[in-house]
């Protein structure tokens, strides 16, 4: 079972470069999320999607764009990378349900350094 797969695992960018992080899930989940993790700050929500073709802003959306053209994929874009975007990025997904099965499943993360 692949679950949530993030590509790439590591990346180094120069300031001003652009890149796209890919998140793919094979669990037919409706909801998908992008977080960033910084030391001493836990995870913070960047953007999320409640279904194919929809996106919404989270806690720290500035400097990022997202797209959900296919249900299984959620892309996170950096148009002009800045050193402040050096972080570990996590993708998560969850089913459209309530109660006990309302759980977010996380990918292994993408470590991004912006020089």
Partner 1 sequence: AQSVTQLGSHVSVSEGALVLLRCNYSSSVPPYLFWYVQYPNQGLQLLLKYTTGATLVKGINGFEAEFKKSETSFHLTKPSAHMSDAAEYFCAVSDRNNNDMRFGAGTRLTVKP
Q: Which of 59, 79 has the CB closer to partner 1?
A: 59
Q: Are 47 and 34 in contact (CB under 8 A)?
A: yes
**Pairing label, strands 110-114, 10-13:** parallel
Which stretch in 12-20, 21-29, 50-58, 69-77 sits in contact with partner 1 by CB under 8 A? 50-58
Interface with partner 1, residue 104, by CB under 8 A: yes
Residue 68 burial class via C-beta count within 10 angstroms: exposed 0-12, middle 13-18, buried 19 and up? buried
Residues at the interface with partner 1 (CB under 8 A): 4, 31, 33, 35, 40-45, 48, 50, 56, 58-59, 90, 92, 94, 98-100, 102-109
């Amino acid at each position: 079972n692949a679950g949530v797969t993030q590509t790439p695992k590591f990346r180094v960018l120069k300031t001003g470069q652009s890149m796209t992080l890919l998140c793919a899930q094979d669990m037919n989940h409706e909801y998908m999320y992008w977080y960033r993790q910084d030391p001493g700050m836990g995870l913070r929500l960047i953007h999320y999607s409640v279904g194919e073709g929809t996106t919404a802003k989270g806690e720290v959306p500035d400097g990022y764009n997202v797209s959900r053209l296919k249900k299984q994929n959620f892309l996170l874009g950096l148009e002009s990378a800045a050193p402040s975007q050096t972080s570990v990025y996590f993708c998560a997904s969850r089913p459209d349900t309530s109660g006990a099965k309302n759980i977010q499943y996380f990918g292994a993360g993408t470590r991004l350094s912006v020089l």
